[in-house]
């Protein structure tokens, strides 16, 4: 049984991939615990398994061994349809390349997570509009997404990630496609909104300045998570 303050528990996760005749071990009994409302940065060299770890937390992928628990529920033990429903209800995503749908306008993109949960019509529009206002784009709902700058598109992605009030936010290199000045404005917005909602944030980054904004930094090396010295205490 998990502690009530534990948001995410990674219990001896192992994940391997076949590459021709060889087996590539990405994670080898990786373990760690994240508290509710905590922002944790995951750092490591390219190919170390950072994105794989996010996929396991979200239930997009399943471990070969070990468990992922989110708020006490063993996500890794769920069948794929159940993992999809769990992800829609509890997880928000922010990606490096925004992943906005060009066939939908800005408001339509933000409404999408609500519609996948069965929230439609005026209720979905009002919640999406409020999420856009929170990221400073309340007047851009009718705009096509390709008319927005990179920074504006990432703000839309943040609104979309948080509109359904997820308890877990997964951010995979969220500033990787932004210039330094834009990143310096967007990242505090992302983390500030997540902290207001007490969402647990798992932030994958290669940028030391981005990682420094987290409550803790975990190094992913040789398939395992290692706490980096000097991290601040997580929020109570």
Query: CATH code at 119?
Result: 3.40.50.300
Is position 57 within any domain? yes
Interatomic CA distance for residues 57 and 156, integer angstroms:
23
pLDDT at residue number 228? 79
Sheet architecture: strand order including 73-74: 22-35, 6-19, 65-70, 73-74
| pLDDT range class, residue 3, cuts 50, 70, 90 | low
CB burial of residue 161 (10 Å; 0-12, 13-18, 19+): buried
Is position 232 within any domain? no
What dihedral angle (degrees, nearest 10) is formed by the CA atoms of 85, 90, 94, 100?
A: 40
The tens digit of pLDDT for each residue in 89-124 reads: 999 999 888 889 999 999 999 999 999 999 999 999
Give Cβ neighbours of residue 233 (< 8 Å, ≥ 6 apart). Answer: 215
Residue with tokens 């005026």: 122
What's this model's pTM, rounded to 2 decimal places?
Answer: 0.90
The tens digit of pLDDT for each residue in 63-98 reads: 999 999 999 999 999 999 999 999 999 999 998 888
Residue 212 has pLDDT above 80, yes or no: yes
Domain count along the chain: 1
Is position 169 within any domain? yes
């Amino acid at each position: 049984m998990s502690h009530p303050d534990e948001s995410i528990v990674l219990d001896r996760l192992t994940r391997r991939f076949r590459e021709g005749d060889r087996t590539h071990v990405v994670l080898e009994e990786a373990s760690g615990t994240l508290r509710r409302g905590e922002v944790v940065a995951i750092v490591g060299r390219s190919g170390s398994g950072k994105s794989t770890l996010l996929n396991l937390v979200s239930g997009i992928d399943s471990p070969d061994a070990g468990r992922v628990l989110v708020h006490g529920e063993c996500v890794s033990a769920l069948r794929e349809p159940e993992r999809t429903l769990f992800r829609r209800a509890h997880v928000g995503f922010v990606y490096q390349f925004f992943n906005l749908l060009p066939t939908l306008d800005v408001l339509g993109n933000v409404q999408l997570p609500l519609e996948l949960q069965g929230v439609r019509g005026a209720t979905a529009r009002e919640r999406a509009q409020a999420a856009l206002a929170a990221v400073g784009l309340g007047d851009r709902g009718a705009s096509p997404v390709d008319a927005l700058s990179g920074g504006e598109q990432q703000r839309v992605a943040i609104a979309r990630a948080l509109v359904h009030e997820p308890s877990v936010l997964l951010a995979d290199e969220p500033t990787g496609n932004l210039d330094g000045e834009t990143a310096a404005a967007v990242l505090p917005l992302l983390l500030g909104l997540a902290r207001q909602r007490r969402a647990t944030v798992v932030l994958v980054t290669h940028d030391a300045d981005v990682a420094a904004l987290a409550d803790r930094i975990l190094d992913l090396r040789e398939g395992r998570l290692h706490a980096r010295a000097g991290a601040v205490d997580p929020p109570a």
